[in-house]
DNA sequence: CCGATCATGTAACGGGTTACATGATTTC
DNA sequence: GAAATCATGTAACCCGTTACATGATCGG
C-alpha cells in the first residue's frame, strides 16, 4: 500500500498528528494532496497495531485532542526496506498513460461526437490544464521561497513538463478538429 | 465505471465476443491493454442484465462457444450520453500525476537513499521507459500500416510524448545524482 | 504429450472514495 | 447565529487485480 509508506516517510522526518499530515505537509504541493480520511486514520491505527509507529495523545486546552504519532525503529526499518527495494518500480510497464486519463479514454471514440461539441470539450480540457499548470507554478514559487528540498522541486517540475506536453497535444488536436469543421 | 463504457464503445462499432474485446481490439495498442477477466465477463453479464447489450451464443464446431454481444438502442443511447456529457472530464484536476507514478512517490524520499543505489534505480527506470517507448513506436508503426483511425494514432502520440518527457526528466535527475557522487 | 491459445467465468482481496458522525473553537 | 476550521473516526461502496477453475483444440 502506498499510503502507509507515505505516512511512514512523513513520520521519518518528524512526529506529527493525522490532521497535520493531511493539511500541512502537502497542502502546498497541491491544495489538497488528497490522502482522504477514510484511509488516513485507519492506516495510522493499523500502523500502530503493527508496531511501526507509536501514539501519544496530546491534550490541548483549545480544540480537540491530537494523536501525535512517532515512527519506531521497526517502522523506520520497514520504510527503508521499501524504499531500497524494487517494489512498485516496474509495475507501470503495461498499465498505461491513457487508462488513467478519463478524457483520453473518451477520445478513443471522438469520431462519434459532433465536431462543434468536440471542439468545446477540447477547449474545456485546455482551460482545465492551464489552470492546473498555473497551480503548479504557484506551488513551485512557494516551494522555492520556502527553500523546500530541491529534489521535491524537481518532482514538481516533471509535473509541469507533463502538463505542458498534454496541453500542447490538446492544442494540436484542436487544430485538427477546427480544420475538419471548415 | 470506465470499463463498461469502453465495452459499449467497442460494441458500438461492431458486435463481438468477450475474448475478442480482450485480445484483438487492443492487443496492438499495448501487448495487453489489460481489461482483465475478473472485470470483463461480469461487466458483460451486467450490461446484458441492464438491457444495454444482447447475447447470442455462437456454437463453434471447433473450440468453445462464443458469446456474441450486440449493443441495443438503449445501450447505444447510454454510450452517446456518456460520451457527450461532462462525466470523467474534470476529475483529474486534483488527483495528481505523481500519485499514479509509484516511482515518483518514492522519489519524494530519495534523500534517504545511498547515491549509488539511487543511481541504479534511476538507470533501471530509464531502461524500462525506453523499452516502453520502443513498444509504443512499434505499435505506432503497426497501426499506421493497418490504417487505424488517425485519432487513435494521435492518442498514442501523446503517450509517446509523455514517455519522452519522463525519460528526459529521469536523465536530468541522473545527472544531478552523478554530480553528487563525484 | 506438453504447452499455448481459445473461451468463459467465479471468489477473494486490496485499495481508494464518499458520506456520515461527532464536537469544539474561531471567524464573519 | 452560521459557517469554516480543527481533529478523529466508521461504514458502505466501487473499481480493479489476482488467482483459481474448466475444457477444448492446435502446433511442435
pLDDT of residue A30: 54
**Residue A85 approaches strand C within 7 Å at CB:** no
Question: Can you tell me the distance from the alpha carbon of A143 to that of A137, in angstroms, rounded to the nearest whole number?
Answer: 10
Cβ contact A166:B162 at 8 Å: yes
pTM value is 0.91
Joined grid coordinates for residue A45: 491505527
Question: Can you tell me the distance from the alpha carbon of A19 to that of A133, in angstroms, rounded to the nearest whole number?
Answer: 27
Per-residue burial over A139-163, b if 16 or more Cβ lie within 10 Å, else e, is bbeebeeeebeebbebbbebbbbbb
pLDDT > 80? residue B35: no
pLDDT of residue B97: 79
Question: Can you tell me the distance from the alpha carbon of A101 to that of A94, in angstroms, rounded to the nearest whole number?
Answer: 15
A115-129, A134-148, A163-177, B52-66: lowest mean pLDDT where?
A134-148
Residues in CB range of A39: below 8 A, 6 or more apart: A3
Q: What are the backbone dihedrals phi and psi of residue B40, each rounded to the nearest 5 degrees, phi first? A: -60, -55
Q: Distances in Å between the alpha carbon of B100 and those of A11, A90, A97, B25? A: 22, 13, 9, 25
Residue of B83, B124, B168 lying closest to A109 (CB–CB): B83
CATH class of the domain comprising A3-84: mainly alpha
Cβ contact B123:B173 at 8 Å: no
Per-residue burial over B71-103, b if 16 or more Cβ lie within 10 Å, else e, is bbeebbebbbebbeeeeeeeebeeebbbbbbbb
A46-55, A90-99, A123-132, A160-169: lowest mean pLDDT where?
A90-99
Interface of B with A in 97-136 (CB under 8 A): 97-113, 117, 121, 124-125, 128, 131-132
Q: Report chain A's mean pLDDT, rounded to a whole number.
A: 88
Q: What is the DSSP string of B124-170?
A: HHHHHHHHHHHHHHHHHHHHHHTT--HHHHHHHHHHHHHHHHHHHHH
Which segments of chain A does DSSP mark as H helices, in order? 2-13, 18-27, 37-49, 73-84, 102-107, 115-145, 150-181
The 10s digit of each residue's pLDDT in B94-122 is: 547 787 888 998 999 999 999 999 999 99
Q: How confident is the model at residue B33 (pLDDT cuts 50, 70, 90)?
A: low
pLDDT of residue B25: 66
Between A86 and B93, the more confident residue is A86
pLDDT of residue B79: 95
pLDDT of residue A69: 97
Question: Can you tell me the distance from the alpha carbon of A11 to that of A29, in angstroms, rounded to the nearest whole number?
Answer: 18
| Nearest one of B122, B154, B101 to A158, comparing CA atoms | B101
Cβ contact B64:A78 at 8 Å: no
Quick one: average pLDDT of A49-64? 90
**Residue A93 approaches strand D within 7 Å at CB:** no
Dihedral, CA of residue B110, residue B115, residue B121 and residue B124, to nearest 10: 140
Joined grid coordinates for residue B24: 484483438
pLDDT > 70? residue A159: yes
Q: How confident is the model at residue B158 (pLDDT cuts 50, 70, 90)?
A: very high
pLDDT of residue A94: 53
Nucleotides in chain D near protein beta carbons (<7 Å):
6-12, 14-21, 23-26
Residue of A83, A93, A124 lying closest to B109 (CB–CB): A83
pLDDT of residue A102: 86
Question: Can you tell me the distance from the alpha carbon of A152 to that of A80, in angstroms, rounded to the nearest whole number?
Answer: 18
Quick one: average pLDDT of A90-119? 83
- Separation between the CA of A137 and the C1’ of D3 (whole angstroms): 31
Amino acid at each position: 500500500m502506498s499510503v502507509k509508506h507515505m505516512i511512514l516517510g512523513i513520520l521519518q522526518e518528524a512526529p506529527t498528528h493525522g490532521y497535520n499530515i493531511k493539511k500541512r505537509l502537502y497542502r502546498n504541493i497541491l491544495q489538497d494532496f488528497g490522502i482522504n480520511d477514510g484511509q488516513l486514520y485507519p492506516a495510522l491505527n493499523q500502523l500502530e497495531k503493527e508496531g511501526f509507529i507509536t501514539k501519544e495523545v496530546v491534550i490541548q486546552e483549545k480544540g480537540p485532542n491530537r494523536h501525535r504519532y512517532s515512527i519506531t525503529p521497526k517502522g523506520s526499518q520497514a520504510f527503508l526496506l521499501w524504499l531500497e527495494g524494487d517494489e512498485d518500480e516496474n509495475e507501470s510497464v503495461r498499465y498505461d498513460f491513457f487508462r488513467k486519463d478519463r478524457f483520453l479514454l473518451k477520445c478513443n471514440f471522438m469520431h462519434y461526437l459532433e465536431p462543434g461539441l468536440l471542439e468545446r470539450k477540447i477547449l474545456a480540457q485546455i482551460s482545465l490544464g492551464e489552470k492546473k499548470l498555473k497551480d503548479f507554478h504557484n506551488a513551485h514559487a512557494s516551494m522555492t521561497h520556502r527553500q523546500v528540498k530541491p529534489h521535491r522541486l524537481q518532482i514538481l517540475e516533471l509535473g509541469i513538463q507533463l502538463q505542458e506536453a498534454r496541453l500542447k497535444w490538446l492544442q494540436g488536436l484542436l487544430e485538427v478538429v477546427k480544420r475538419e469543421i471548415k
